[in-house]
Amino acid sequence: MEQTNQRIAKISAHLYPSNSQHMEDSCGIRRANCRAKGGAPGFKVAILGAAGGIGQPLAMLMKINPLVSVLHLYDVVNSPGVTADISHMDTGAVVRGFLGQAQLESALTGMDLVIIPAGVPRKPGMTRDDLFNINAGIVKTLCEGIAKSCPRAVVNLISNPVNSTVPIAAEVFKKAGTYDPKRLLGVTMLDVVRANTFVAEVLGLDPRDVDVPVVGGHAGVTILPLLSQVKPPSSFTQEEVEYLTNRIQNGGTEVVEAKAGAGSATLSMAYAAVKFADACLRGLRGDAGVVECAFVSSQVTELPFFASKVRLGRNGAEEVFQLGPLNEYERVGLEKAKKELSASIQKGVSFIRK
């Protein structure tokens, strides 16, 4: 028996030379006979809010992603159960769970990419801005943790209202002296996913063959689909333009109402978040030509933040593209979007600077 224990200890020391924490499985149970799982080269990704409606399917999909070698699942409730469940999937990523503020630092240390879907969702009748009072504080705390434990990580911020939470995150990072505008991205991918779907329906195409740039922000009129730039090049009647713009801008509300008090988009959001995170990871890996829409620090308009196409690279959003030619309908939409966006950005900034 003693001999067996010594053999296991020797193997363990070889597998985990510097960090005995690695010997804990996803439930936090010490298992002396665990071998290194996976071990494939890849990126370390943390999901903050991993036990939520978005967090759970997002965790499942990230566990399947071959670019992920380590997946940290953090929440203030239920993360041990979600972690145990996800960790049984026979894919490469090693999964570890973290519960509560005391484990935030361990959850974040060494991460390359941090995805944040933590926070409360809307109920029917609410705007995304109605979530500000609760979610602003959550995002602030989590970003303080990132500034301390993984200041070089790329951050994908999902928590609403994105138009304000991204400026909040930027202010937290500025205060901590760690702000790198390229590494902070508000996730607006769901607007693009919806736009591709709805436009494909109208055109009678496969949504996978359609690409609709959606710029501005992520709330109501700030969501501005550029239908004049749809690929493949397509023309729409004015009625179609109005129907599509309205449906894309209100896609979130459509789901909130259909769920009738049980939350907002979670499954399509998890899909969109993984699509975006995968693009960020391919950029970090050095792939060329990775371009997606995101809400980032921007000089495309006079506003300090704006969603547009960005090129993702080894340092995050390495290039922010101009909007390109807009038609009259889009120019009017842009003015409306900027007015609301400006107030939402200022609200986020003031929350930290107050």
Residues in binding site for substrate: 122, 128, 160, 194
Rounded Cα distance, 238 and 282, in Å: 38
As beta bridge partners, residue 216 has: 223, 307
Q: How far is the CB of 160 from ligand LMR (least distance, A)?
A: 5
159 binds, among ligand LMR, ligand NAD, none (CB under 5 to 8 A by kind): ligand NAD
Site for ligand LMR, residues 209 to 268, rule: CB under 6 A? 251-252, 255-256, 264-265
Binding site for ligand NAD (CB under 6 A): 48-49, 51-55, 75-77, 117-122, 131, 135, 138, 141-142, 158-160, 162, 187, 190, 218, 263-266, 269
The DSSP string of 312-349 is EETTEEEEE-------HHHHHHHHHHHHHHHHHHHHHH
* Binding partner of residue 95 among ligand LMR, ligand NAD, none, CB cut-off 5 to 8 Å per kind: none
**What is the DSSP track for 249-265?**
HTHHHHHHHHHTTS-S-
Report, in Å, the least distance between residue 44 CB and ligand LMR: 27
Q: Residue 255 binds what, of ligand NAD, ligand LMR, none (CB under 5 to 8 Å, by partner type)?
A: ligand LMR
- Which residues share a beta bridge with 290? 312
Least separation in angstroms between residue 120's CB and ligand NAD is 6
Asked if 76 and 286 count as a contact pair (C-beta separation under 8 A), the reply is no
CA–CA separation, 9 and 150 (whole Å): 31
72 is annotated as an active-site residue: no
Q: Taking the complex as a whole, how short is the minimal distance between the CB of residue 307 and ligand LMR, in angstroms?
A: 13
* Residue 193 CA, distance from chain mean position: 14
Give the range of 120-128, 164-172, 277-285, 299-307 binding ligand LMR by CB under 6 A: 120-128
Residue 289 CB, shortest distance to ligand NAD, in Å, is 24
Q: How far apart are CA 255 and CA 162, in angstroms?
A: 17
Query: Rule CB under 6 A: which of 62-81 touch ligand LMR?
Result: none
9 binds, among ligand LMR, ligand NAD, none (CB under 5 to 8 A by kind): none
Judge residue 10's burial from the number of C-beta atoms within 10 Å of its C-beta, 0-12 exposed, 13-18 middle, 19 or more buried.
exposed
Number of other residues whose CB lies within 10 A of the CB of residue 130: 15
How many residues bind ligand LMR (CB under 6 A)? The answer is: 11
Catalytic choice (14, 22, 88, 218): 218
CB 213 within 8 A of CB 229: yes
Contacts to ligand LMR by CB under 6 A: 121-122, 128, 160, 190, 251-252, 255-256, 264-265
Catalytic site positions:
218
